[in-house]
Structure 1
Amino acid sequence: MPEQTTTPGSPSDLHAVLEAAHVASDVFELRPDYRVVLVAVDGIEPGPGDQMSEELLAAAEASAAQDLAQGPVTEVPHVAAWREAYRSFGAKPQRTRNSLEALMRRAAAGLPRVNRLTDVYNAISVLHRIPLGGEDLARYDGAPRLVRATGEESFDTAAGGETVLEHPDPGEVVWRDASGVTCRRWNWRQCRRTALTDQTTSAVFILDALEPLDDDALQSAADELAAALRRLGPDVTVATRWIGAP
């Protein structure tokens, strides 16, 4: 299993955030094949989509089209694995689609164009068939933790244009920080508080993996993401950490 690595000159706070990140043992009991790579980045220069992000999106759309020409998105192996994981904690995947499936379903009509940071990680998610979430590190409270929810945690979202406070279901797998849930149902919906914006300069990205995605494929996705992030400013620094079952 790859060890934690940091790029030369990475700020110590990136290293500290990743060192404190945690996956609860009962998550591994649910899915012993689960692995995650966390990628923290600082020094991003915000900007609209550019040639690099557009090329990645176009490649992702073409790649998705090849898979979807063979059958429905639900039969893509890595999508199917996450649908089964959702069922294991009581979620209905036909109603709450994991982030990879949601993007794959949009690829035929064209992936969204948001800004170059968001476009890069969406493209890499589809290219590598891996759920990939991004959070604004400046708005994060402490370190990322993946846990089974008690049902009392807070999750801020929107309904009808208004902010709404929800609570996850007991036993639901959620990413959270010290202030509350940052992403419900493993990789379904992110909260508003830590969402990436057009002004984001530091972020943490979460690359979730289940079999049949193997370790080499997971590492390849993390490496491509880190390489793309380093192109988003002359002073970008990146740190990564791999977490798997003990």
Structure 2
Amino acid sequence: MSKFIADDSFFDLFPDAKLSVLLIKNLKNGESPSDLKKILTESNTVAEKYLGKAKFSDNEVVSQWREAYKKFKTKKKARCSIEALLKRVETGNVVGPINAVVDIYNSASLRYGIPAGAEDLDKFVGDMKLTVTEGGDEFYAIGSDKNEPTYEGELCYKDDAGAVCRCFNWRDGQRTMIEEDTKNAFLMMEILNDEKLEALNEALDFITNLSKEYLNADVHRYILSNENREIDL
């Protein structure tokens, strides 16, 4: 059985971090129904509470992740996924629907100010790891036919076939992307310390409930820490 492993190199950088994983199995993906699209629209409005500062980078959700990204090698101007969502909210470029799985985790990310992402579990090759890489891991960004390998010293999610999500939680690759025919998903949310642990648990409840209601899925929930670094997939 394959595993998800957060290795020493990750916890050397972020010893107090928590990594949550939801294994969303036997799901039925597709276009979101109108009620789920409404939840996503409302979530854009909820996210405005994280944007009280005049300067975008001074907002706490943005600033803490920018500091985190200074601790490892990144592609130029790589930003945490939650920053990308909040920038769209700030500029009025509404985060719109993609498919039900993506709409659910984007809604949670916007509402709780925590980065979220998901991959097709059935497309993993071997174990999935969150690790600082030696560089050279194959990576094709969504919509690109150009290989952009990882850097030495980059933090990313990877399996035996290459990088899955670059620069921590910046960008997913097309090999494992969530599609309408995805049946089993690996969904992750990360916090850097316990300050947002309550919000994390609320976000996991939110995703779990919507996944059961709109995806008809079985959901298995885990939180990894420095003391508990791996789970079976």
Same fold (TM over 0.5): yes
Q: Offset of 1:28 from its aligned partner?
A: 0.9
For the 8 Å contact 2:50–2:113, the answer to whether it is kept is no
For the 8 Å contact 1:100–1:130, the answer to whether it is kept is yes
**Equivalent residue for 2:132?**
148
Q: Offset of 1:162 from its aligned partner?
A: 4.6
**Equivalent residue for 2:224?**
243
**Equivalent residue for 1:202?**
184
Aligned-partner Cα distance in 1 for 2:50–2:196: 18
Question: Which of 22, 25, 28 is matched with 1:39 structurally?
Answer: 22
For the 8 Å contact 2:118–2:187, the answer to whether it is kept is yes
Q: Percent identity?
A: 26
Q: Offset of 1:47 from its aligned partner?
A: 2.2
**Equivalent residue for 1:157?**
141
Aligned-partner Cα distance in 2 for 1:112–1:36: 26
Question: Which of 73, 89, 94 is matched with 1:110 structurally?
Answer: 94
Unaligned runs of 5+ in 1: 1-15
Residues 62-99 of structure 1: per-residue CA shift (max 9 Å, x gap): 11223324434322322211111111114377x11111
Residues 112-171 of structure 1: per-residue CA shift (max 9 Å, x gap): 21122211111111111111011011212233210001012211226xx65111211111
Q: Does 1:59 align with 2:39?
A: no
Aligned-partner Cα distance in 2 for 1:27–1:233: 32
Question: Which of 105, 122, 129 is matched with 1:121 structurally?
Answer: 105
**Equivalent residue for 2:123?**
139
Cα distance change, pair 65–21 in 1 and its aligned pair in 2 (3 A)? same
Aligned-partner Cα distance in 2 for 1:26–1:226: 30
**Equivalent residue for 2:56?**
73
SS in 2 for 1:204: strand
For the 8 Å contact 2:150–2:166, the answer to whether it is kept is yes
SS in 1 for 2:47: helix
For the 8 Å contact 1:136–1:194, the answer to whether it is kept is yes
Cα distance change, pair 162–118 in 1 and its aligned pair in 2 (3 A)? closer
Cα distance change, pair 70–212 in 1 and its aligned pair in 2 (3 A)? farther
Aligned-partner Cα distance in 1 for 2:55–2:26: 40
Residue identity matched to 1:91: T
**Equivalent residue for 2:231?**
none
SS in 2 for 1:230: helix
For the 8 Å contact 2:6–2:129, the answer to whether it is kept is yes
**Equivalent residue for 1:24?**
7
Aligned-partner Cα distance in 1 for 2:222–2:74: 28
Q: How many residues align?
A: 225
